[in-house]
Structure 1
Amino acid sequence: MPDELNYVDWFRHSSPYINAHRGKTFVILIPGEAIECAHFSSIIHDLALLDSLGIRLVLVQGARPQIGRILSNRRLPSRVEDDYRVTPQDQLLDIIQASAAVRVQLEAQLSMGLSNTPMDGARLKVCSGNYVIARPLGVVDGIDYGHTGEVRRIDSEAIFRLLEDDNMVLLPHLGFSPTGEVFNLKSEEVALQAAIQLKADKLVIYSEEEGIFKSDGELYSELLTKDADVILKEKKLSTITHAALDACVQAVRQGVPRAHLISYNENGGLLRELFSREGSGTMIDEDSYEQLRPANIDDVGGMMALLTPLEEKGVLVRRSRELLENEVDRFIVIERDGAIVACAALYPFEQEHSGELACLAVSPDYRGSNRGERLLKGIEQAAKVLNLSTLFLLTTRTAHWFIERGFSETTLNSLPSKKQALYNYQRNSKIFSKAL
C-alpha cells in the first residue's frame, strides 16, 4: 500500500507538468550507446508515453559505437579529428549501413504493440527522410574530412507538417546535399540545429552520465549557461559529454527555452526529469527557473501549504486564509516551475523606521540550497526601499539560524509600541534584531 500511495502522490504532482508539456515540441538525441544499454526498451516506453501525452517528438539518432564496431570488423582505420570522424569515400557505405541498422532498430521498437506491455495500443507513426540538408566540412587545417559534413539547414516546414499529423519524426546523423551526396554528421549538431530551427521547447540529450557534476561530486540539477561556459573551458569532461553540454548551451543561447542532459543508464530518467520538481539530470538554462518575486493572491494556496505544517508544530503563529489573502502584499515567494517552495513577509513600522520579518518558510524538499538566505536578502532589500533602518523578528525555534546571519537578541522594549502590545507571553518568543 505505501508504494501505491507514493505512485498516486507522484502522479498527482506530475499533472502540472503534463499540462505544461502538452502540444510542445521536444528534440531528443538518442546516441548509439543508449540503443545498446540495458534500459533501451524502457526508453522506448517512455517515448511512447510522451507521445500519448500530446508531446510532439523529434528524435535524433546517433551511431558512434555501431560505426566503430563495423569499421573494426573490416579492419578499417577510425580517425577522429577535433571531435569529427573523418569519413573517407571507402568508409561511407559502412557508415550508412551502421546508421540504417540503428534506424531500423529504433523504428522496430517504436512499432511494438504487445499486450501487457507499456506499448499496448500505442500505434506510433514514425517518419524519417531527407529532412537534414548538409554540406561538406571540407579541408580544415590541412585535413580532408571527406564525406564528413555539417548541417546546412533543417527542412522544418516538412517536419512541422508531419508533427501536426501526429507523427513522430526520426532524424539520422546523416545529411543530404542538393548535389545528391551523403554526409556523416555529428548527432549533437543535428539535434542542436533541429531544436533551433524548429523553435523547439526543449532539447534533451541522453548521455552515459546523469548530467554535469560539481567538484565535490554533487549533481547540478540546474546549470546556467554562464556557469556551463566555465566548465567547458576547463576541458575536464569526456569528449562526448563535452559535445553534449556544448550543444545544450548553444541551443539555449539561440532561443530554446531549456535543454536537459540525462542518463540512458537510469531507468525512467526522462520521466523524472520532465515530470518531477527534482528531476534526474542537469537542466541548462539562460536564467534560473527559480524566481524570487512579490506574492499575489494566486499564491495563497501554495503559501498555506508551506506555513500550515509549521503552525501545527508551533513554530509559526497561525494565520487564516482570509488573513493571508488580506496581507498577501506583505509577502515574497520563491516559485519553482509553478510551485511555491518558499515564502517570507515584511511588516513595516514606518514611524519607528523598523520592520518585522515573519513567516519565513521553505518547503522541506528544498531546504539546504540557500533559499532561506535568498528570502532574507529579499526582505532586507524591500526594507531598505522603505527606508527602514532595523529588521526584527520573533522566534521560538530558529534563533541560531538568524544569529549566524547577523541578528542579535534584544528586549521587548526595543520593539515598536504596537508590536509590544501584541506580544504573546504564552509563546515566550525570543526577539532578535539587525541593523540594515
Structure 2
Amino acid sequence: MMKPSDFVRWFRGSSPYIHAHRGKTFVIYFGGEAVGDPGFADLVHDFALLNSLGVRLVLVHGIRPQIDSRLARQGCQAQYQNGLRITDRVALECVKEAAGTVRVEIEALFSTGLANSPMAGARVRVASGNFVAAKPVGVRDGVDFQHTGEVRRVDAEGLNAVLARGDVALLSAVGYSPTGEIFNLRSEQVATAAAIALKADKLLLLTEEECLSLREDRLLRQITTAEARALLGEAAALAPEVAPHLKAAVQACEAGVGRAHLLDRHIDGALLLELFTRDGVGTLVSRAPFETLRAALVQDVAGILDLLRPLEQKGVLVTRSRERLESDIGDYTVIERDGMIVGCAALHRFPEARMGELACLALHGDYRGENRGERLLAHIEGKAVGMGFERLFVLTTQTAHWFRERGFEPAEVADLPETRRAAYNPRRNSKVLIKSL
C-alpha cells in the first residue's frame, strides 16, 4: 500500500503536467483488441480523468477483431491485401454493425456514475458524428478494395465545436463520401488525419506491442522523426505490428503535431504514466530531440541551482551563488530533458597556461547512468581542444576514481595555473587530476 508521504510526493510531482496539459488537444487511438479486453473500463476511466483535467480529447477506436468475428459467424473469410482489408458488401455490413456496437459500448462506459466507481460525478458527454469524409481506395495491383476507403478530410471545425463544449469526441474507422457512400477506414489513419487537422498537441497510439528495436532488443524511449524514418527503412529493425504505428507517429509530427507517443496498452495506467511522469513508459516521437545537450543560458540558472543544491549540501561541490552562476553562465553546458535541467558541467578557461578546468559536473539523481556524465565530459574535452588547450584539470573530493577511469592522472596543486592555484582552498583538500588532450 502506498504511504501517504509517497502519494503526496507523487501528486505534487504530477502538478506541472496537469498545468501543462490543461486546454491541450490530444488524439488517442486504440484498437478493437483494447475494446474487447476485460480491463477496457479502466482505460475509459483514465480517459474521463483526462477530460476532467481540462484535456480536449478525441478518441479513435478500431474494430478489426469485431469485424473478423462477425464475418466468421457468417462463414466468411476476412480478406486482406498488403495488410489492408478488402471490404466487399458482406464485410461492409459487418463494419457498420461493429462500429455501431462498439460506439454504443464506449458511450455506455462513459455514462456510468456509480458512487463507488472512478466515474462518480464525472458526467462526461460523448459526441460522435460524420466528421470524416472518405474516398475509395479503388483498384491497386489489380485488386479491387471495393468499400475500403481513405481519409479525404476531417471536419476540424465541427470537432473543435465539440471540444469547446468540454465533450469527448469519438471517431470510428468509418468515413462518408459526398455521394452518401460508406467506407471502411484504417483507424490509425483516422487518428493521424484528425491529429493533423486539429493541429493537436499530442497523438497517442495505444498499441498491442511495445516499440522495440529488434536490433538492440530494447524499448525505444525517445526517437526523432529522422531516426524513426531510418529505422522504418531498415529491414527487420522493428516488429511488423509496430511499423504502421511508428509511420503514423512520424507522419503526424512532420505535419505539425507536437509529439506522438506509442504506448503498450497492456501496461495498467500506461496513459497516465506517460502523461504525468517525466520519463513515461512508452516511446516518444518528436521532430526535435526530447533530451538535448546544449550551451547554458541565463534562464537556466534556476534549474542549475536546483541541480547543484543537493551536491553542495553533501559537500561534493563548492557552493555557488546565483550571481556567480549568472556571470559564468557562458562557461556552462547543460543537458535539458523535457524542460528540466538534468545535467551540467563547466569549462573555466586559463589560456595563459593552455589549460581548462572541468568544474561543476553534476547529474540529477534520477538520471545518472545512460552515459550522460561521459557525454558531458566528451563535450567539455572537445570544447577545450577547440580553444587550443593542451590539458584539462579537475578538482574533486569524492569522485577521483571516476575521473581516473576516464584518463585523468593524479597531480599536485603546484601543477595548476597560477591564478587557480591562488584560489585553491586547502581546507577542502581537493584532489587534483589532469588529463592531456
Does residue 377 of the first structure (1) align with residue 378 of the second (2)? yes
Q: 2: CA distance between counterparts of 1:36 and 1:168?
A: 20
**2:65 paired residue number:** 65
Q: Which TM-score applies when normalising by structure 1?
A: 0.94
Asked if the contact 1:235–1:242 (Cα under 8 Å) also holds between the matched residues in 2, the reply is no
Alignment of 1:265-280 (within 5 A): 265-280=266-281
Matching residue of 2:194:
194
The alpha-carbon distance between structure 1 residues 155 and 267, as it changes in their structure 2 partners (threshold 3 A), is: same
Residue identity opposite 1:369 in structure 2: E
* Aligned residues of 1:37 and 1:264 also touching (Cα < 8 A): no
Deviations 1:352-377 (A, max 9, x none): 23221111011121111122122223
Query: What's 1:289 paired with?
Result: 290
Q: Residue 390 of structure 1 corresponds to which residue in structure 2? A: 391
Deviation at 1:166, TM superposition (A): 1.6
> For residue 146 of structure 1, what is the aligned residue in structure 2?
146
Residues 20-74 of structure 1, C-alpha deviations (whole Å, 9 max, x = no match): 2111111100211111224311211111111111111111110111111111111
| 1:184 counterpart letter in structure 2 | N
**For residue 406 of structure 2, what is the amino acid of its counterpart?**
R
Distance 1:254 1:235, change over 3 A: farther
CA shift, 1:255, in A, is 1.5
Q: Contact 2:261–2:285 (CA<8 Å) still a contact in 1?
A: yes
Task: List gaps (5 residues or longer) in structure 1.
Answer: none
d(CA) in 1 for partners of 2:365, 2:220: 19
Amino acid at match of 1:408: E
Aligned: 1:259 with 2:260: yes
Structure 1 partner of 2:164? 164
Q: How far 1:408 moved relative to its partner?
A: 2.9
Matched, 1:183 2:183: yes
Letter of the 2:20 counterpart: A
List per-residue Cα deviations over 1:74-114 (Å, max 9, x = no partner): 11110111110110112211111011111111111112222
- Partner Cα separation in structure 2 for residue 339 and residue 154 of structure 1: 36
Q: 1:106: which partner in 2?
A: 106
Q: Deviations over 1:380-436 (max 9, x none)?
A: 344355443432111233233323433333332221112112223343322222344
Q: What letter corresponds to residue 149 of structure 1 in structure 2?
A: G
> What is the aligned length?
436
Partner Cα distance (1:418, 1:253) in 2:
51
Tell me, yes or no, if structure 1 residue 313 matches structure 2 residue 314: yes
Aligned counterparts of 2:340 and 2:303: Cα–Cα separation in 1: 7
SS in 2 for 1:340: strand
Task: Give the counterpart letter for 2:314 in structure 1.
Answer: K
CA distance in 2, matches of 1:245, 1:223: 10
Q: Which amino acid aligns with 2:15?
A: S
1:140-194 superposed Cα distances (whole Å, 9 cap, x missing partner): 0011111011111111111112111222111110010011110001111111111
Further displaced range: 115-124 or 230-239: 230-239
Partner residue in 1 for 2:242: 241
Paired with 1:303 and 1:48, the residues of 2 have a C-alpha distance of 37
Report the counterpart of residue 74 of structure 1 in structure 2: 74
Alignment check: 8 A CA contact 1:210 1:262 kept: yes
Contact conserved, 1:344 with 1:375, CA < 8 A, in 2? Answer: yes
Q: Secondary structure at the match of 1:270?
A: helix
Shift of 1:275: 1.0
Tell whether the 8 Å contact from 2:209 to 2:241 is kept in structure 1 after alignment.
no
Moved more, 155-164 or 373-382: 373-382
Aligned equivalent of 1:121: 121
Residue 319 of structure 2 aligns to a residue whose secondary structure is coil
- Equivalent position of 1:231 in the other structure: 231
CA shift, 1:2, in A, is 5.7
Contact residue 37 and residue 265 of structure 1 kept, 8 A:
no
2-structure distance, mates of 1:235, 1:79: 25
Q: Is the 8 A contact 1:38 1:265 kept in 2?
A: no
SS of 2:241's equivalent?
helix
- CA offsets 1:227-248 (integer angstroms, 9 cap, x no match): 3224323245444322111111
CA contact (8 A) 1:39 1:264 kept: no
Pairing 1:15-94 to 2, within 5 Å after superposition: 15-94=15-94
Q: Which one is further off, 296-305 or 145-154?
A: 296-305
Q: Residue type of the partner of 1:187?
A: S
Q: Could you say if the C-alpha distance between residues 237 and 65 of structure 1 is closer, same or farther in structure 2, counting changes exceeding 3 Å?
A: farther
Equivalent residue number for residue 409 of structure 2: 408
Identity %, equivalent residues: 50
Q: Distance in 1 between matches of 2:289 and 2:39?
A: 31
Structure 2: how far apart are the matches of 1:5 and 1:278? Answer: 21
In structure 2, what is the Cα distance between the partners aligned to 1:420 and 1:180? 84
TM-score calculated relative to the size of structure 2: 0.94
Q: Distance in 2 between matches of 1:384 and 1:54?
A: 51
Work out whether 1:430 is the aligned partner of 2:431.
yes
Task: State the AA in 2 paired with 1:95.
Answer: V
Counterpart amino acid of 1:432? Answer: L
- Quick one: distance in 2 between partners of 1:114 and 1:142? 54
8 Å CA contact 2:203, 2:252 repeated in 1: yes
Deviates more, 1:313-322 or 1:81-90: 313-322
- Equivalent residues in 2 for 1:297-336, closer than 5 Å: 297-336=298-337
Shift of 1:349: 1.8
Q: Does 1:8 align with 2:8?
A: yes
Moved more, 243-252 or 330-339: 330-339
| Counterparts of 2:50 and 2:144, CA distance in 1 | 42
Give yes or no for contact 2:132–2:153 (8 Å, CA) kept in 1.
yes
Distance in 1 (alpha carbons) for counterparts of 2:432 and 2:149: 69
Measured after TM superposition, the shift of residue 321 of structure 1 is 4.4
Structure 1 residue ranges, 4+ long, deviating more than 6 angstroms after superposition: none
Instruction: Tell me how far apart the structure 2 counterparts of residues 235 and 181 of structure 1 sit (CA, whole Å).
Output: 39
- Structure 1 counterpart of 2:359: 358
- Matched residue type, 2:81: E
C-alpha separation in 1, matches of 2:383 and 2:11: 38
Kindly indicate whether the alpha-carbon contact (under 8 Å) linking 2:135 and 2:183 is maintained by their aligned counterparts in 1.
Answer: yes
Task: Please give the alpha-carbon distance, in whole angstroms, between the structure 2 residues aligned to 1:2 and 1:89.
Answer: 54
Residue 212 of structure 2 aligns to a residue whose secondary structure is coil
